[in-house]
Amino acid sequence: MLRSDPHLPYSPSPLRLMNLPLSEKTILVTRAAGQSSQFSRLLQQQGATVIEMPTIEIVPPSSWDALDGAIADLNDFDWLILTSTNAVDYFFERLGSQLQDVRGLAGIKIAVVGEKTSLRMKQRGLQPDFIPPEFVADAMVVNFPESVEGKKILFPRVESGGRDLLVKAFSDRGAHVTEIAAYQSACPETADPTAIAAIQNYSVDVVTFASSKTVKHFCQLLQQAIGDNWTHHLDKVCIASIGPQTSKTCRALLGRVDIEAQEFTLDGLTKAIVQWNS
């Protein structure tokens, strides 16, 4: 049975631990509060003790004006591009608040990045028109199913800090991209004290990162909680990244990456950690 408090470490029964590959590992998960439970369960199923330290808070954008204006003019767009479950949730919640429903999307094609984003769309009764074969934004551009020259593309996204690759690539191909803020991903004011204590006590074996922002905010929160010597507490900690872009940020801010998922998903990251420990 899982503990009711997601921030407390979870340990399977001793009998189960004997046969599970991560039974002697304590893993820190840095995903946003409310989004970490799935990843935690994947790791726990492999025997790991999991500590959650949310490094991102998902909140509304500073203004709804741009998104509301785009929703009012949905019929003007050829494509809607959604690259995260957060974008899906905030876009459709705002669509509903403007007294519109999914029928307002009848004349627009929808492209999404990632299996989880696609699933969230299907949960809302919509089948994406295009999903790139790889779970990264770069694959969206390379594999897009039609010429975008002259096309009008609506791109709801995080307010700041996101990559500009899609906007630049589609614009270079002659598309007219309307980039609007649908949500913000902010750094929590303070770090979870259970997680900080585990890091200070050198009890953490692996720290996992699923985005560049989780890396940046993790460093910021440790600096704030521990002080200038915070990096010393990570000397023997394995740094695990979900993919190349996150790894790039890890190398820039933490100096290294020890594990990188081959498949850029939470399942892929779990498999990579298990393989590293085998």
User: Average pLDDT over the chain, rounded to whole?
Assistant: 89
Per-residue confidence (pLDDT) for residue 137, from 0 to 100: 66
- For the chain, give the number of residues: 278
Decide: helix, strand or coil at residue 56: coil
Percent of the chain at pLDDT above 70? 90
Give dist(CA 182, CA 34) in Å, integer.
18
- The separation between the first and the last C-alpha atoms of the chain, rounded to the nearest angstrom, is 26
Residue 126 has pLDDT above 60, yes or no: yes
Give dist(CA 169, CA 155) in Å, integer.
13
Q: What is the average per-residue pLDDT within 104-109?
A: 85
| CA angle centred on 260, ends 9 and 43, rounded to 5° | 25
Q: How do strand 176-186 and strand 57-59 relate by DSSP bridges? A: antiparallel
Is the separation of the CB atoms in 195 and 173 below 8 Å?
no
Give dist(CA 157, CA 180) in Å, integer.
6
Domains of the chain: 14-56+189-277 (3.40.50.10090), 59-186 (3.40.50.10090)
Residue 6 has pLDDT above 70, yes or no: no
Q: Is 34 left (phi over 0), alpha (psi -120 to 50) or beta?
A: left
Residue 54 has pLDDT above 60, yes or no: yes
pTM: 0.74
Q: Which helix (H) or strand (E) holds 111?
A: strand 109-112
213-246: per-residue pLDDT in tens? 999 999 999 999 999 999 999 999 999 999 999 9
Please say whether the dihedral angle defined by the alpha carbons of residues 271, 272, 277 and 278, taken in this order, is positive or negative: positive
Is the separation of the CB atoms in 171 and 177 below 8 Å?
yes
Residue 50 has pLDDT above 90, yes or no: yes
Per-residue confidence (pLDDT) for residue 1, from 0 to 100: 34
247-260: per-residue pLDDT in tens? 999 999 999 999 99
What's the distance, CA 110 to chain centroid? 20
58-80: per-residue pLDDT in tens? 999 999 999 999 999 999 999 99
Per-residue confidence (pLDDT) for residue 139, from 0 to 100: 79
Provide CB contacts within 8 A for 57, sequence distance 6+.
Answer: 32, 33, 185, 186, 187, 188
Q: Which helix (H) or strand (E) holds 276?
A: helix 266-277
Other beta carbons within 10 Å of 108: 17
Per-residue confidence (pLDDT) for residue 2, from 0 to 100: 39
Give dist(CA 89, CA 80) in Å, integer.
14
Per-residue confidence (pLDDT) for residue 135, from 0 to 100: 65
Per-residue confidence (pLDDT) for residue 94, from 0 to 100: 93
Residue 10 has pLDDT above 80, yes or no: no
Residue 140 has pLDDT above 90, yes or no: no
